Amino acid sequence: MQLNQMTIHQLRELLQRGVTTSQEIVASVFSRIEEVEDKVGAYLTLNKDQAMAAAKRADTMLAQGDADDLCGIPIAIKDNISTSGIRTTCASKILENYVPPFDATVVAKLKEAGAVIIGKTNLDEFGLGSSTENSSFQPTRNPWDLSKVPGGSSGGSAAAVIAGEASGALGSDTGGSIRQPAAFCGIVGLKPTYGLVSRYGLVPAAASMDHVGPMTRDVRDAALLLQAIAGWCEKDPTSHGASLPDYEAALTGDISGMIVGLPKDLVATLGDHGTKEALYGVANVLESLGARVEEISLPHGRYAMACFYILASAEISSSLGCFDGVRLGKRDLEARDTVSMFTKTRGQFGSETKRRILVGTAVLQAENYATHYAKAQRVRTLIKVDLDNALSKCHVILLPTTPTPAFPLGHKLGDPMDMYQSDVFTSLANLAGIPALSVPCGYTKGGLPLGAQILGRPFDEATVLKVGHAYEQGASIEPRWPQMEVHTNG
């Protein structure tokens, strides 16, 4: 196996034994990028010179024997997470030339651990989308089938990891944007509990639902990356001071006696895309490992997607208000007066972003507030109560990650409601703020990956990761690598 295909923990071992160097690993990643990036389009900005210099520093730390788990490991960063001195565009024309003067806390933590930042990955503009087609610069393609989307909005991060263009990545997840692309690309994605990982330096979409989290090739790697980025941050007012367990130590493989809730009402809505069969396959493996799978009900779960889009749009319309060419954003210099300067500047937003701003503004208007915004807030509470009730009886909840596997590029662009369906199973965890992990759980007949979600109690990432890891070991799905071709059936 080549260095750029290995997991973070495999690389950690080789580095710590002195069998390879960070410079060799980073060089193998960049040569892979040269080979496949024109097909995949995972990156918006590459950071080669700084990455090679960081790898050299990491090798010195490793030689001194005081290296952290991530020391020398190549990591990609979604381009809505601020990186000092590296362009951070949010895949938007309005931030095309923005170079932040500071690092997001998660990036600072990764650098402190000696990780090597490879580049900035593509996304739907400001994280708004489920296919990475809403990027103002380029679409990203799914390495398993280049005619399919990689999911979104963290599609660039997911594609980079499975294509061997990074060993792990950070994504952001407001309604499913880490887990859905992870499922579409056959990798692991974790949305942590709200408040566990700092959002300082993440450009906000819907601040009450935004999260930063790891996207990796296996669950152990997700535990290692989470360990590095989690924890109290004084610059994030929603940061929680919870003490951190050792996430890797939680991966014991022992899940006997654990209760896994399976929401029958939601699972019943699954069509025939191989997703239902794959989900029951996960349930069977967990049972064979000694867990008890029990049917549960989440009565308000089916309103999650509608509730999410009302509340998220309201927050988005407010958080994108500052991109007006005065406070933030690339000003349109042709305009002759203030109003046309505002409108021309804001005209740089893509059509999905404009749609969200309009929907958000509409639901916050006095005449719609009670019937839409306030009602959705109440539904959000009901969904949270459903999940709390279920999680008081079970240790974790099992759900599909997505209703379908990856769909063809262009297929849903003209039908936003259809695109929004991608989030029916993921948005629940954002509304409730609870942790949710997507793990690969097999392939369709056409060879596209599928994912299953494990949701847990707030700040109990250790259990969520433990169950995901036990499943991964128990299922022993044979490892495959994408061949970077276009397939005719899916």
- State the catalytic residue, choosing from 153, 167, 313, 319: 153
- Tracing tokens 């939601």 back to the chain, one arrives at 266
Shortest spacing between CB 397 and ligand GLN, in angstroms: 19
The region of 101-109, 175-183, 192-200, 381-389 touching ligand GLN under the rule CB under 6 A is: 175-183
Which spans in 274-365 are helix H?
Answer: 275-288, 304-319, 338-346, 351-364
Judged by CB under 6 A, the stretch of 47-55, 126-134, 264-272, 299-307 that binds ligand GLN is 126-134
Alpha helices in 394-434 (DSSP H): 416-420, 427-432
With a CB cutoff of 8 Å and minimum separation 6, the contacts of 344 are 332, 334, 335
Count the residues of the shown chain that bind ligand GLN, applying the rule CB under 6 A.
14
Q: Which of 35, 200, 212, 43 is nearest to 117 (CA)?
A: 43
- Closest residue by Cα to residue 421 from 400, 436, 452: 400
Binding window for ligand GLN (CB under 6 A); candidates: 46-54, 168-176, 333-341, 453-461:
168-176
* 243 flagged as catalytic: no
Tokens 């349109």 belong to residue: 332
205 touches ligand GLN (CB under 6 A): yes
What's the min distance (Å) between Cβ of 305 and ligand GLN?
Answer: 9
Q: What is the rounded distance in angstroms from the CA atom of residue 245 to the CA atom of residue 264?
A: 32
Least distance in Å: CB of 211 to ligand GLN? 8
Q: Which of 92, 167, 177, 422 is catalytic?
A: 177
Residues 95-129 as b/e (b if ≥16 CB within 10 A, e otherwise) read: bbebebeebbbbbbbbbebbbbbbbbbbbbbbbbb
Name the residue nearer to ligand GLN (CB basis): 30 or 420: 420
Catalytic site includes residue 157: no
Contact status: 423 vs ligand GLN (CB under 6 A): yes
402 binds ligand GLN per the rule CB under 6 A? no
Q: Is 301 within 8 Å of 428 (Cβ atoms)?
A: yes
Residue 156 binding ligand GLN, by CB under 6 A: no
Strand partners, 130: none
Catalytic residue among 78, 109, 120, 412: 78
Task: Tell me if 153 contacts ligand GLN by CB under 6 A.
Answer: yes
Residue 194 token pair: 């709200």
Q: Does 190 bind ligand GLN (CB under 6 A)?
A: no
Which segment (29-37, 170-178, 252-260, 440-448) binds ligand GLN by CB under 6 A? 170-178
- Whether 177 is catalytic: yes
Catalytic positions, written as ranges: 78, 153, 177
Residues near ligand GLN (CB under 6 A): 127-130, 153, 173-177, 205, 312, 422-423
